[in-house]
Chain A
Amino acid sequence: MRITLILLAVFIILISPFFGQIELSLKNIIDASKMDYQIFWDIRLPRTLLAFFVGAILALSGLVFQTIFRNPMSTPFTLGVASGATLFTAIGIVLGFTAYISLFAFIGAMITVIVLFLIVSRFETVQTSSLLLIGIALSFFYSASLMILFFISDLQESYEIVRFTMGSLDIVGFENIYLISIAAIFILTLVKRFQYNIKLLLTSHELAYLKGIDVKRTNYILLLGISIVVGICVSITGPIGFVGLIVPHIIKTIMQKSADQLIYPIFFYGGVFLVFCDLIARNLGTVSDIPIGVVTSFLGAPFFIYLILKRKKSL
């Protein structure tokens, strides 16, 4: 089962760059004079890599958020971090700082995390359901702010913002790939380094504290790291929801191990999941590509519900 899954995953990644509106042949992609060469190296390969790293980051972020906030529904998206990044990116677009939108996205993510933290520190204990409600309230606040931005921006800016909020893996060249791959490796290394702390947090915050962990410091560092990388992701691709929510759950249900043992699988299959969704989005034969977020939700939601029902039976 496990080996089949890995082989399937590798197969998906390998074939992904070859399919799309124009089909490529293996022979032509090493011939620099051919059109296929440019499509493969400048568009398809960067796109596949982008999908992989963004999926991996979002899935791993979901795992960390679920662990820290002790709630299976917590992700950078459900708690408003991604909405914050989206809003600030839109502000960046309206203010004309198109070159610095990564910075704006990061600031948006950070502000949200700080707000969440300020609220959490006012609780005597970690009240995850209240936190989730606050995350939802923040998301509504941000989308209302985004609406205001639409009204004060001109047509061109509005269009850019709309396209951005739909989420897209359109990319040309490798410039952003370097950034996103460094971000992915950074967050993977960080989470791996905190594996023992994460394992303790998977029991309870009290237990982690009693086993000598500085729980607050651990949470701060992990959330700060996640905000940085999610900010980077959102600035490049726009918000892509649902990956961070479902991939950790799917992998946990399939592998049936405690979450700290699943850091590599969640990272890897998160990447594969988004590559797969992107492959579908590009090959449905529509006039233009379907937004990636549509595909992740369309495929992910039914499978997710199926798994939850199945798990209820086995427990």
Chain B
Amino acid sequence: MLKINNFTNYILKDISFSLNNKNLIILGSNGAGKTTLSKVLCGIIDNDSVTINNINPSKVYGDKKTKLINYIPAKLDIFDDYMSVKEFLELNKLYSNLKIDDVLDMLEISYLKNKSCKTLSSGESQLLLYASAVLHNAMYTILDEPTSNLDPKKVKMIYGNLQNKDILQNKIIISHNLNLSFKLGYDILYLENGKIIFDGTSKQFFETSNLYKFFGSSVKKVDDNILVDL
């Protein structure tokens, strides 16, 4: 059970919700506070409001923390020039039964194994980050825009992968890809100016009236797909 109670800082305003062994999608316009909320949940931003199974992840270290929650940023950030993909993944291999080679195969990026992480393209980096999430396999994994740099085929692959219940435990996904969010069918949290203004099921959220309320005329539902209407 993941809980956050009345958290407020300079971006977020009075955030409370709970998640009991379920997946979640966090939506919201740019600058609404989605990434900040993720950093609070995983403890990168120190707080007294979050608990996962009654443990506050920002107050513990070692496997007490790593078991509970993992956060995958939108961009891969590596300082070292020569750290290879394999080395990077070894640092992330914590609770998954899968081997590094299996995960690379699954995501069709085995050819990257011995490359330096710094030389990857943005799409490749994003797949590498996803691979690291799979290998870490915490109880809750927050994925910050996991498909923003991927080509359509790769988006579909990640979509398929996310639906496989054996790969990641509970997922919290931040996304601007409404169609992906819609198809995944997870519960939705919608943030605006640091406040939660919607907390409910996917079905409720993607009703036409709600879509108009949140996105105006920029989004349309066509043949059971959510499209950006340009």
Contacts and interface: CB of A to CB of B under 8 A. Distances in A.
Interface of A: 67, 70, 199-204, 206-207, 209-214, 252, 256-259, 315
Contacts of A213: 61
Which label, helix, strand, loop or mixed, suits the secondary structure of the A interface?
Answer: loop
Nearest to A255: B82
A258 B66 contact: no
B82 A258 contact: yes
Contact of A258 (B83, B92, B94): B83
B77 interface: yes
Interface in B72-101: 73, 77-84, 87-88, 91-92, 94
Contacts of B43: 209
Given A212-B65, A214-B61, A258-B84, A207 B79 contact: no
Interface residues on B, range: 20 to 34
B44 A210 contact: yes
A214 B62 CA distance: 8
19 contacts: A200-B91, A201-B79, A202-B79, A202-B80, A203-B80, A203-B83, A204-B77, A207-B77, A209-B44, A212-B61, A212-B65, A213-B61, A252-B81, A252-B82, A257-B82, A258-B82, A258-B83, A259-B80, A259-B82
B70 interface: yes
A213 B62 CA distance: 6
Contacts of A209: 43-44
A211 B80 contact: no
A111 B71 CA distance: 36
B30 interface: no
A211 B66 contact: yes
B79 A212 contact: no
A206 B78 CA distance: 10
5 cross-chain pairs, A with B, having the tightest CB-CB distances, nearest first: A202-B80, A258-B83, A204-B77, A212-B62, A212-B66
B83 A202 contact: yes
B10 to A, nearest CB: 10
B29 interface: no
A315 B119 CA distance: 8
A259 B83 CA distance: 8
Nearest to A258: B83
Contacts of B136: 211
A199 B91 contact: yes
A204 B136 CA distance: 16
A211 B91 CA distance: 8
Nearest to A199: B91
Contacts of A212: 61-66
A238 to B, nearest CB: 31
Contacts of B64: 212
A40 to B, nearest CB: 41
B191 interface: no
B42 interface: yes
Nearest to A201: B79
Contacts of A67: 79
A70 to B, nearest CB: 5
Contact of A203 (B62, B63, B88): B88
A201 B84 CA distance: 15
Contacts of A210: 42, 44, 65-66, 70-71
Contacts of A201: 79
